[in-house]
Structure 1
Amino acid sequence: MIGGRVGLRRVGPDGLLTFGLSNLVIVLTAGLSWLALWGRMHLWVRSLDCPGRAPWVIVLGQQLQEGCPGPGYRLRLLRTLRLLRRDPEARVLLLGGYTSPEGPSESAAGAAFLRQRGIPASRIFCEEDSRHTLENLQNARDLLVQRTGGRLPRCVLVTSRFHLPRAVAIARGVGLEVCPCPAERSPRVPQVRLAREIWMLHWYHTGRLFARLIRHQGMLDRIS
């Protein structure tokens, strides 16, 4: 789907409700709920290294720059390239839809990057319909179910280090068994981007908890 990233106007009434509730919790706790989550995730992402082998590598896309992977996306793809060269049996699932009407999808641009560096097309699979991380990983789950006949395999999940806390939480929330793998070798994390990710992770956790408390299966289904 073309149209870039999804803003608040497109998340639906449930999303707006839980967004407001998440921010209310942050205000009522004087920021402590967000700060506690940030502190735990900050230590976690700095300690991460790339794990061992898995039959599938899942790579989260990033908005393209003039139809090509930008610096952050290139780091994710270079990390993936090393994983695929290390394990010739592994396959890769690239996630990400269209950044602009005239350009390729994020996943197609990633696939071209890997093919140009010697990875056979037979090992590369693309998901081109998603607009954001939740859709990325829901679609990844559904595609892997189709490819494996119903049994979800263990996967390595590659994305930027600052993005891993939210990506891993969502991946496990939709039923994927993932090992987090940061794109960057350096443990340093851009603090502004991590702060934004933790704010969104706080929203995700608040929404799941709220849906469970009121036993709203429809809300849970939309984020699972």
Structure 2
Amino acid sequence: MADRARPGSTAADRTVPGLTGVTAPAPLSRDEVDVAIVALGAAHDRISAAMYALDNHPGLAAVRVPGRTGRTERYAADLAAQIDALWSRFTALGTLLDQVRTLRAQRSRPGDEELAKLTWLLRAPMVPVGANGMVLDDAPPGAVRLPLMELARQLETGSADAIDRLSILDEAGSALVVRFGPPGEALARLRAAVDALGPDGAPTAACLL
């Protein structure tokens, strides 16, 4: 939706507080604010369900297994960083959505000042993120900042992608178990074979069975 400047306002007096050179979006109407809040709340609910599924995914345990090497280690490390960034962004989204809802609930018919604040929260690029995808607590000048709806959009696609990647990792681990057996059982068989060797390294009868 194109910006609609207030009568008598200019781009200079609609800058985002604390963000040099960033113009604040034109104020939304009360109905537009309510529609945006409903849409953002629905997105948050979908993301919440996806994050719950991610947190309970069987492949999550394999992400931080120590001792990996090569491509598997790089894949798992990259996926772990992606998941950490998703949680960081999800926390920020929930916090800001609560702020929006609290502000909107103060008056049934918000005035111009409340609408301007709500518009700023809903539309301004106010969530700073780093190169690693994490939300920044102390953002440097020039940091990338996302509006709430863009943050929600990226969270939806990112959580779905992370779940897919966890499934790939889980399927790869399951294939190894099918091929070689559970690691604990394989280690037990190895120890039994070592114990079956005689004191001089000669196999005993048990080792030959």
Question: Whose helix proportion is higher, 1 or 2?
Answer: 2
TM superposition score category, shorter chain reference: under 0.3
Q: Between Structure 1 and Structure 2, whose CA radius of gyration is higher? A: 2
The TM-score, its normalising length taken from structure 2, stands at: 0.23
The TM-score, its normalising length taken from structure 1, stands at: 0.22
